[in-house]
Amino acid sequence: MSANAVIYGLGGLELTADEKAFFRDADPWGFIVFARNIEGPKQLSKLTLSLRDCMGRDVPILVDQEGGRVRRLRPPSWREMLPAQVYGDLYLREEEAAIEAVWLNHRLMAEEMRAVGIDVDCVPCLDLRLPGADAIIGDRSFGETPEPIIQLGRAAMDGVQAGGVAPIIKHIPGHGRADADSHLELPVVREEHGLLLETDFAPFKALNDAVMAMTAHIVYRDIDPDHPATTSQAMVQDIIRGEIGFGGLLMTDDLSMKALSGTFRERGEASIQAGCDLLLHCNGEMSEMIAVAEAAPKLAGKALERAAAAEAVRENIESFDAQAAESRLNTLLDLAKA
């Protein structure tokens, strides 16, 4: 039985009666948790179990766990996780050490997530880190050029997948040149299409076999001056599916971000019409979720096939010695500090 093409956040540390009733009716494909939903491992495990009990199936549960500024599982209950730039800087000195360190870090992340019922991670961030751009990406990026991002992004993808966690490449087709924070306003990228293909789009093209991707709420003026990528047929069909060749499950970035305009139903409908497979709504506001639900169709056809492929990642977990992996990772990270 297919679910509806939407992922929701929720309000607090446990499901409310109103949320349970809404989620059963709205039948989302999955959920996403944030810091407001996390007190510790025992509580989070109980919450993820209650979400699956509520839906009566093994729904995917997502988290943004990159490291650095963007991490929801934090010390003291979980490991300290460094930002991507640390690994990118190591790559410039010791390529193989950096690739191994990224794989180990993400494999350990998968182990920690699966232990509390989370099986989808919004990593890796494949955006470039570019001078003069808004700081929203910054040290979340593996580098200033495509090559380290491609190599380390692949290691991140492989690491979480080896632990039965589905990765989401983001923010397709590239957030690195954004002149604003899309949480707050609509960014515009003014560079020519040809340059973007050689730079910003290149990591996504190289990793176009990823099972999932998240769109960028950004206008690429040389391609579609009127719509951000999330709601642009030209960007989704011609660039993301065509030029980049991404064939996996395509989800929007958060529909509640201020980069988008219109009602929440309009935002959702425009995203689906552009070619996105899934809608994402994060803040847990009930009135907004109800409006998004009106725009979310049943997963069907190619979108349903892509969703099934993403879910299947959870079934293949490779054997792993976490203690040995953490020791080796710490040794490699000492190189980064030297």
Q: What is the pLDDT of residues 300-317, one digit of tens each?
A: 999 999 999 999 999 989
- For residue 217, cis peptide bond before it (omega within 30 degrees of 0): no
In the numeric block, the tokens 């950004």 are attached to: 218
> What distances in angstroms separate CA 119 from CA 64, 77, 109, 310, 316, one per listed residue?
11, 18, 11, 10, 12
* Active-site annotation holds for 253: yes
Which pLDDT belongs to residue 1? 55
pTM: 0.96
- pLDDT of res. 335: 80
d(CA 127, CA 17): 39
For the stretch 10-44, what's the b/e string if a residue is b when 16 or more beta carbons lie within 10 angstroms of its beta carbon?
A: beeeebeeebbebbeebbbbbbbbeeebbeeeeeb
What is the average per-residue pLDDT within 262-275? 97
Q: Which of 253, 254, 277, 281 is catalytic?
A: 253
Q: What is the pLDDT of residues 271-292, one digit of tens each?
A: 999 999 999 999 999 999 999 9
| Domain 4-337 coded CATH 3.40.50.300 | no
Whether 183 is catalytic is yes
pLDDT band at 331; cut points 50, 70, 90: very high
pLDDT category at 226 given cuts 50, 70, 90 is very high
User: What's the average model confidence in pLDDT over 130-151?
Assistant: 93
Of the candidates 18, 53, 58, 183, the residue annotated as catalytic is 183
Query: How many Cβ atoms sit within 10 Å of the Cβ of residue 187?
Result: 22
**Residue 151 in this model has a pLDDT that exceeds 80:** yes
Give the residue-averaged pLDDT of 54-59.
97
